[in-house]
Amino acid sequence: MEIIPAVDIRGGRCVRLYQGDFQRETVFGDDPVAVARSWQEAGATRLHVVDLDGAREGRPANAQVIRRLIQALSIPVQVGGGLRDRQSIDSYLETGAARVVLGTAAVKDPSLLAEAIAEHGERIVVAVDARVGMVAVEAWREETPLSAAQLMSELVAKGVPRFIYTDALRDGTLRGPDFAAVEAVLARVGVPVIYAGGVSSIADLVRLASLGAEAAIIGQALYTGAVDFQQALKVLSRAPRPERGFHV
């Protein structure tokens, strides 16, 4: 299972939010490019970059620094946050992003999602963010009547090649994943799923791997030292792959 460090950007700085709350922010670096380089040097094989301002405003707000970050690295970068039109999607992919992540747009603009998948295929990832199993959009400020598993099943039928499933109530809390919910999602969705939200230990990562998650995105646990990244890489490299699950 791949371990993907998160670089969340707000106001040009690298930050972490507690449960997505913009009023509960911790700054971990003034230069996201330098932070990204440090994860690459530590052995990361991919980074997850989120434009938090973009997610809230509905359009890219930190595009300049994200483009510099992409161009400064040799590892793949997946980018999300405010990508709600073709121009924004195409711009990051042309800059060199390996994948772009669609969240609100995947729920509210099915035609855009269909066009993006038709054009870019595996480079499109859909983020499904859930509170108590129900999907939240608009930077987690708006809840929908859709369950995460239901939405993901419907989107698989429409050609979505990969998901990021985030437990919004656990994100940034170091409480550990809701493994029952993760298992239920993985059992229903027949494409690769990346998990995010509340990972607090290497044991959490081992269990996610055993359930069949393709990867885990980690932020707070890495930045606070709760998880030693290089030790986690060693442990996960020895963990057996489950019979079911996706490692594409």
Residue 66's CATH number: 3.20.20.70
Per-residue model confidence (pLDDT) at position 247 = 40
Q: Which residues contact 45 (CB under 8 A, 6 or more apart)?
A: 2, 4, 75, 76
Decide if 247 is inside a domain: no
Residue 245 lies in a domain: no
Q: Is residue 171 in a domain?
A: yes
Rounded to an integer, what is the distance from CA 172 to the centroid of its chain? 13
Lowest-pLDDT range, 80-84, 99-103, 121-125, 137-141?
137-141
Q: Within a domain: residue 248?
A: no
Higher pLDDT, 71 or 131: 71
Three-state secondary structure call for residue 233 = helix
Record the pTM.
0.91
Choose the catalytic residue: 51, 53, 129, 167.
129
Q: What is the mean pLDDT of residues 82-96?
A: 96
- Is the residue at 216 inside a domain? yes
What is the pLDDT confidence band of residue 173, given thresholds at 50, 70 and 90?
confident
Confirm if 46 and 52 have CB atoms less than 8 A apart: no
**Would residue 64 count as lying in a domain?**
yes
Predicted local distance difference test score (pLDDT) of residue 246: 46
- Picking from 89, 94, 130, the residue whose alpha carbon sits closest to that of residue 112 is 89
DSSP-assigned states of every residue in 186-199: HHH--S-EEEES--
Report pLDDT digits (tens) over 201-228.
999 999 999 999 999 999 999 999 999 9
Residue 129 appears among annotated catalytic residues = yes
- Region 168-182 average pLDDT: 89
Domains of the chain: total? 1
Contact 189, 221 (CB under 8 A): no
Could you report the per-residue pLDDT of 112-159, keeping only the tens digit for each? 999 999 999 999 999 998 876 778 776 556 576 678 888 899 999 999
Please identify which residue in the block is written with the tokens 């029952």. 180
58 pLDDT higher than 50: yes
Please give the mean pLDDT across all residues of the chain. Answer: 90
* Residue span of the structural domain in which 232 resides: 2-238
Q: Is residue 51 part of a domain?
A: yes
Question: Is 85 in the active site?
Answer: no
Q: With respect to residue 187, please indicate whether it lies within any of the assigned structural domains.
A: yes
Give pLDDT, residue 116: 96
